[in-house]
Structure 1
Amino acid sequence: MASTGKACVFYREGNDWFCNAGLPSDIAVEVDGVCFHLHKFPLVSKCGKIENLLEDSQSKHGETFYTTLSEFPGGPDMFLAAAKFCYGARVELAPRNVVMLYCAADYLEMTEEYGEENLLAKCENFFHKNVLCNWKDCILALQSSDPAILRAEKLQILSKSLNSLSMMACTDPSLFGWPMMMYGTLQSPGGSILWNGINTGARIRSLESDWWFEDVSYFSVSLFERLIQTMKARGMRPENVAGAIMYYTRKYLPGLSRWQSGQSGKSRSVTSFSMTPATIDQRVLLESIEKLLPEKKGKSFCRFLLGLLRVAMILDVSQLCKDSLERRVGMQLDLATLDGLLIPTYSDSDTLYNTDCVERIIQHFLSLESSVTWFSPSSFDLETSSPSGSLQKVSKLIDSYIAEVAADVNLKPDKIRSLVDSLPESSRSFHDGLYRALDIYFKETRGEPKLCCHVIATNEFGLQ
């Protein structure tokens, strides 16, 4: 078999591949419905998997051996590349194909036992020397790993790539000893722009801590989740973790933009990447993202959480996810705004707004507010206040909320009373806002002022 002479030509006829090696095929390998009519010798000389299959078979010498390789990493395309390698053809390794070829070589057991510089070793060397040390290549390799994620995990491709990305994202890029290609501009370690490898002396602005958000937003939900967990374990600041999560979520939940005015992520140019956005199940995304959110508070973060809660109700995610989002909002209710709190009723209820949800958020605030810490002052627009000041801010917010929902003619008096009683009496120094809210309710309900008075008369700051 001429596997070391001139390279054999592979050609396709319909759903079958053939090799013009000058000898009739004596082995047929099927991968995902595509049949490869090849020769035993070149495959057995490189692939332990094929050798073992032949040894276990009862086929006689000279008979064509038929086998099916189920769940082959990368499908027919990767098997074709591995087969060509067995016939002596050169395989071009690149960040976009190295992971799948690595997994394919592992599947076929193309180890050094079956020839020096076998495909598995070549892929392993390329991955460690060329991919792990380069941000862009690591991103591309990880994005291509989804079809064979379990085998990539077994080979530690996933963990090594995630650790490498985490290290680079947690470190000032100017400290690295190699150029970094980001957003189409090649930079020297000192930050100067390079042209054809020549230092032009021109400077670019310092990279912000969010320089990597857009790149990782092309990952699938499961891959993004693993990356964030790895970054947390490495000690990344909660502000950067939250920023990446918010950027990723806004990209795949367009409905968030309605309640995130002025909060959308910065647009990045990724001309050097040419990546395709992941296909995302929005419910899976939201339920996964909620678990990643840091236990912190900040004004922009609170607005994001309220928007996330609205979308969660629209998508009807798990009750556990909705409960957790309500708790997170409650932890920073003093930073909420009225428009963010006006959550519509997305069920068959006659009322316009979900007052039950707001009541639960208030209860979380009263029980958890003092236990949550702030994001650092350098990130998110913060406005710290004392616990007593926070309680007064919330009381004013809830009085404004009652005034807004009071115009709903279907809102029952007991709901008004429940909202009024949700905060302790000491939270209100003045009751002007509450009087205004009740006045609006009396005018809108018209036929029930006596009933309203009866419901709220027992409260010391009720109608006099």
Structure 2
Amino acid sequence: MDASCDLEVDVNGEEVFMVDKKVLSSYSGSFKKMFSKSKCGKRNLKVIFHDFPGGAENFELITRFCYNNSKVDINPFNITDLNCAAYFMEMNKFVTGSQNLLEQTEKSLEDTRYWTWSELMVALKRCQNFLPVASSSGILEKCLDSVIGRVASSCETSPCPSVSSPDSSKFRASCDTRSSESLKSSFLRVAWWFEDLVQLDIHLIEMLVKSMVSRNFNHNIIIKFLFYYQKSRLASAFSDEKIRMVEAVVEMLYSLDLSTVSYKSLFGMLRVSLHVNINKCCRNKLEIMIGSQLDQATLDDLLVPSPVRARYLYDVNLVLRLVKSFLAKGVWCLPLSRLKKVASLVDLYIAEVAPDPHLKPSKFLALIRALPDSARDSFDGIYHSVDLYLEVHSGLSEEEKTRVCRGLDYEKLSSDALNHLAQNKKFPSKSAVEALNFQQCRLKNLLQRTNQPNNFTNSPVFHKTGSMEKKDEPREQIVLYAGKLDFSTENERIRAHIQGMQWRVLELEKICKKMQIQMTKIMKSRLSNHSNAKSVPRLCS
């Protein structure tokens, strides 16, 4: 074929080629359309490409294909470049048979099942250099399908006990050394592809995971790979890449089965997100995933430093959002055991943040009220946290102190806590009054329980056999500290009310002691009679 150099082609600013426009136009639909509209005659033309797939090196392969009568060596190392360039230059139009480069590359792709894993990975990695074209031409999808097929077949032929959370301490505790080694070996057999796919762009990873999910791939393996991918790539990534990577991983995790996601890994990702500015929607999804497993967390997990501009020590708003996510499905849907675990965790957190001088009363009260009262059997721990908070925040007004104390459930305070509160000058006087009221109610209830009809045959200390079983009687002691309270700021009405309550409680105490003495005498007398009756044979009675 006679050739002239009447066309100058600048490829991505890398190199300039002098070619025959007639030769290239016979294979390229884009060139044919371009020059069919040109009226420049024999004058030399110039074409500038800014985004030619594969750059100057790949354009040289294309020209060789055109000048060598549609002959070029197509292999796993250049098939991606040739396919994308052929698609870019429309080398499937106006030409048929062996002259169609796009058709040749697609036919070669049918042999991917014979490629080695290394050859397949080379082709896939080349795709990420020109993703839009590779995606449009279809070669990216075919390479991904081949990769997933290889991974899936290897997982099917290998036992995979690792899917039941191999990092679980309970699981490890139940295995001996030999089984642990077997577990590790099995996981390595399943995860052999992790290291190779770590080199892929995050966009390819998203496509890969989406395809895996559509094929019902094991979610636990996908999750482990995503955490492995992030850990491997994050350190060397630039700031923008980190944001994109964290957001993409969170979105992918959120689409998977959350029950298989490790809460430790999620908290690790949360701490990473503190250093990168991920979008609010993505952060909410991460917090929802963590909140669903909040009962598995520890205090150290929750002690996340506050945002840079905030004055308080720990991120209280984060914990409030996590608790809200935990309760999102409704308290009635949660087992009481899980609810109580979270309550214990939150109580520890409240005690930890109480000494923070910058923590506002509204936030402190919000922490106390974040969980329903049914989650706590006792409010003694909350009382001690409130006591510490009021000690550190001594400058609060009486109204603010009263508002904070509204978080206490006096019915769930022990007698010791109520007694301590009644003489605690850090608390507002209204709280002391309320504590004394509850003490008085408890004493009345004790008297009502004590003042039962003298039907000793139905008494819990007697049984039909006539034997007696010792049983601890409930005893409560009322200690009044009203005289020690500071009422300098209260009016005379409250003072008179407290003094009157003090006398009523003392009278009730005296009555209660007298009744207990009488009950003891009656029980001893009844016991003596019962012993004598038991010594006489039943037939002689």
**Fold match, TM over 0.5?**
yes
What residue identity is the alignment partner of 2:318?
C
1:295 CA drift (Å): 5.1
TM-score (norm: length of structure 1): 0.73
2:251 aligned with 1:291: yes
Alignment check: 8 A CA contact 2:220 2:261 kept: no
1:49 CA drift (Å): 3.0
More helix by share: 2
1:47 pairs, out of 9, 24, 28, with 28
2:386 pairs, out of 428, 438, 462, with 438
| Structure 1 residues 72 and 324: CA distance shift in structure 2, 3 A | same
Distance 2:393 2:113 in 1: 68
Distance 1:365 1:108 in 2: 55
| Structure 1 residues 123 and 296: CA distance shift in structure 2, 3 A | closer
Aligned residues, how many?
382
2:118 aligned with 1:157: no
2:369 — aligned with what?
421
2:199 aligned with 1:228: no
Q: How high is the sequence identity, in percent, across the aligned residues?
A: 29
Give structure 1 stretches of 5+ with no counterpart.
3-22, 177-203, 255-275, 373-385
1:442 CA drift (Å): 4.2
Distance 1:282 1:336 in 2: 26
1:21-67 C-alpha deviation (Å, 9 max, x unpaired): xx762221222233211223543443333333332221324x32332
What residue identity is the alignment partner of 2:47?
T
- Please give the residue correspondences for 1:353-392 in structure 2 after superposition, counting only pairs within 5 Å: 353-368=314-329, 387-392=335-340
2:19 aligned with 1:71: no
SS of equivalent to 1:28? strand
Alignment check: 8 A CA contact 2:134 2:140 kept: yes
2:409 — aligned with what?
460
What residue identity is the alignment partner of 1:127?
L
Alignment check: 8 A CA contact 1:72 1:104 kept: yes
1:407 — aligned with what?
355
1:427 CA drift (Å): 0.8
SS of equivalent to 1:236? coil
Distance 1:282 1:364 in 2: 26
Distance 2:344 2:41 in 1: 87
Alignment check: 8 A CA contact 1:331 1:368 kept: no
| Structure 1 residues 296 and 86: CA distance shift in structure 2, 3 A | closer
2:319 aligned with 1:339: no
1:439 CA drift (Å): 4.5
SS of equivalent to 2:355? coil
| Structure 1 residues 442 and 326: CA distance shift in structure 2, 3 A | same
Alignment check: 8 A CA contact 2:27 2:99 kept: no
- Please give the residue correspondences for 1:17-416 in structure 2 after superposition, counting only pairs within 5 Å: 25-33=5-13, 34-61=15-42, 63-88=43-68, 91-111=72-92, 113=95, 116=98, 118-130=100-112, 134-172=116-154, 175=157, 206=186, 207-254=188-235, 281-293=241-253, 294=255, 296-297=257-258, 301-368=262-329, 387-416=335-364
| Structure 1 residues 370 and 349: CA distance shift in structure 2, 3 A | same
Higher relative contact order (CA 8 A, sep 6+): 1
SS of equivalent to 1:30? strand
Alignment check: 8 A CA contact 2:361 2:400 kept: yes
What residue identity is the alignment partner of 2:88?
Y
1:325 CA drift (Å): 1.6
1:237-283 C-alpha deviation (Å, 9 max, x unpaired): 221121121111222334xxxxxxxxxxxxxxxxxxxxx99997111
Distance 2:245 2:403 in 1: 43
Alignment check: 8 A CA contact 2:219 2:260 kept: no
Distance 1:236 1:426 in 2: 41
1:8 — aligned with what?
none
Distance 1:369 1:281 in 2: 38
Moved more, 297-306 or 137-146: 297-306
SS of equivalent to 1:172? helix
Distance 2:238 2:357 in 1: 45
Distance 1:411 1:364 in 2: 22
| Structure 1 residues 91 and 395: CA distance shift in structure 2, 3 A | same
| Structure 1 residues 92 and 434: CA distance shift in structure 2, 3 A | farther
Alignment check: 8 A CA contact 1:30 1:68 kept: yes
SS of equivalent to 1:368? coil
1:296 CA drift (Å): 3.9
SS of equivalent to 2:76? coil
| Structure 1 residues 439 and 370: CA distance shift in structure 2, 3 A | closer
Moved more, 332-341 or 85-94: 85-94
1:78 CA drift (Å): 1.3
1:351 CA drift (Å): 0.3
1:226 CA drift (Å): 1.0
1:440 CA drift (Å): 4.0
SS of equivalent to 1:398? helix
More strand by share: 1
Alignment check: 8 A CA contact 1:95 1:131 kept: no
SS of equivalent to 1:219? coil
Give the RMSD, CA atoms, in angstroms. Answer: 3.3
What residue identity is the alignment partner of 2:120?
C
